[in-house]
Structure 1
Amino acid sequence: MTLLFEGVSAAVTTPFKNGEIDLESLKNHLQFLKDNDIQAFIINGTTGEGSTLTDVEKRQTIKTAVEVANKEIPVIAGTGSNDTQASIDNSLEAKKLGVDGVLMITPYYNKTTQEGAIAHFTAIAEALVDLPIILYDVPARTGMSLEADTVAQLAKIPNIVGLKDATGDLANLTRMQNLVDEDFAFYGGNDDTALPFYAAGGRGLISVVANVLPSEHQKLYELTQTDPKEAVKLNNLLFPFTDAIGAELNPISIKAVVSHIGFGEYELRLPLVGLEGQVITHLIDSYQSLKEGINHL
Structure 2
Amino acid sequence: MTRLFTGAAAAVTTPFIQGNVDYDSFKNHLIYLKKNRIQAFVINGTTGESSTLTKKEKATLLSIAIDVADGDIPVIAGTGSNNTADAIAHSQEAEKLGVDALLVITPYYNKTSQKGLLAHFTAIAEAVTIPIILYDVPARTGMTIAPETLEVLALKQPNIVGLKDATGDLAHLNRLQYVVDDSFSFYSGNDDLALPFYALGGHGLISVLANALPKEYQEMYEAAQKYPKKAAEISHRLFPLVDALGVDVNPIPIKVLTSHLGFGDYSLRLPLVPLESAAQDVLTELFDHTRKDD
2:236 matched residue in structure 1? 236
2:99 matched residue in structure 1? 99
Residue 135 of structure 2 corresponds to residue 149 of structure 1? no
SS at match of 2:272: coil
2:114 matched residue in structure 1? 114
- What TM-score does the superposition give when structure 2 sets the normalisation length? 0.99
> Which segments of 5 or more consecutive residues in structure 1 lack a partner in the other structure?
none
1:22-59 Cα distance to aligned partner (Å, 9 max, x none): 00000000000000000000000000000100001000
List 4+ stretches of structure 1 deviating above 4 A.
none
2:62 matched residue in structure 1? 62
d(CA) in 2 for partners of 1:8, 1:185: 13
- What TM-score does the superposition give when structure 1 sets the normalisation length? 0.98
1:222 matched residue in structure 2? 222
d(CA) in 2 for partners of 1:168, 1:102: 22
SS at match of 2:253: helix
Q: Which amino acid aligns with 2:8?
A: V
SS at match of 1:155: helix
2:176 matched residue in structure 1? 176
d(CA) in 2 for partners of 1:206, 1:247: 20
2:284 matched residue in structure 1? 284
2:135 matched residue in structure 1? 136
1:195-226 Cα distance to aligned partner (Å, 9 max, x none): 10110110000000000000000000000001
1:79 matched residue in structure 2? 79
d(CA) in 2 for partners of 1:194, 1:152: 24
d(CA) in 1 for partners of 2:284, 2:200: 32
d(CA) in 2 for partners of 1:179, 1:66: 33
User: What is the CA-CA distance between 1:148 and the residue it aligns to?
Assistant: 1.1
Q: Which amino acid aligns with 2:221?
A: Y
* RMSD, aligned α-carbons: 0.8
Q: Which amino acid aligns with 2:145?
A: L
User: What is the CA-CA distance between 1:94 and the residue it aligns to?
Assistant: 0.4
User: What is the CA-CA distance between 1:3 and the residue it aligns to?
Assistant: 1.2
Q: Which amino acid aligns with 2:152?
A: Q
d(CA) in 1 for partners of 2:173, 2:190: 13
1:101-135 Cα distance to aligned partner (Å, 9 max, x none): 0000000111000000001000110111x210000
SS at match of 1:151: helix
d(CA) in 1 for partners of 2:248, 2:240: 14
Residue correspondence of structure 1 range 37-56 to structure 2 within 5 A: 37-56=37-56
SS at match of 1:236: helix
Q: Which amino acid aligns with 1:243?
A: D
d(CA) in 2 for partners of 1:161, 1:241: 31
Q: Which amino acid aligns with 2:123?
A: A
What fraction of aligned residue pairs are identical, expressed as a percent? 60
How many residue pairs are counted as aligned between the two chains? 293
1:257 matched residue in structure 2? 257
User: What is the CA-CA distance between 1:277 and the residue it aligns to?
Assistant: 1.7
User: What is the CA-CA distance between 1:292 and the residue it aligns to?
Assistant: 0.9
d(CA) in 2 for partners of 1:118, 1:16: 36
d(CA) in 1 for partners of 2:140, 2:292: 34
User: What is the CA-CA distance between 1:85 and the residue it aligns to?
Assistant: 1.0
User: What is the CA-CA distance between 1:246 and the residue it aligns to?
Assistant: 2.3
d(CA) in 2 for partners of 1:16, 1:277: 18
d(CA) in 2 for partners of 1:71, 1:232: 32
d(CA) in 2 for partners of 1:276, 1:257: 14
SS at match of 1:68: helix
Q: Which amino acid aligns with 2:150?
A: V
Q: Mean Cα displacement is larger for which, 238-247 or 264-273? A: 238-247
2:210 matched residue in structure 1? 210
User: What is the CA-CA distance between 1:247 and the residue it aligns to?
Assistant: 2.6
d(CA) in 2 for partners of 1:256, 1:41: 20
Q: Which amino acid aligns with 1:284?
A: T
2:21 matched residue in structure 1? 21
d(CA) in 2 for partners of 1:223, 1:135: 26
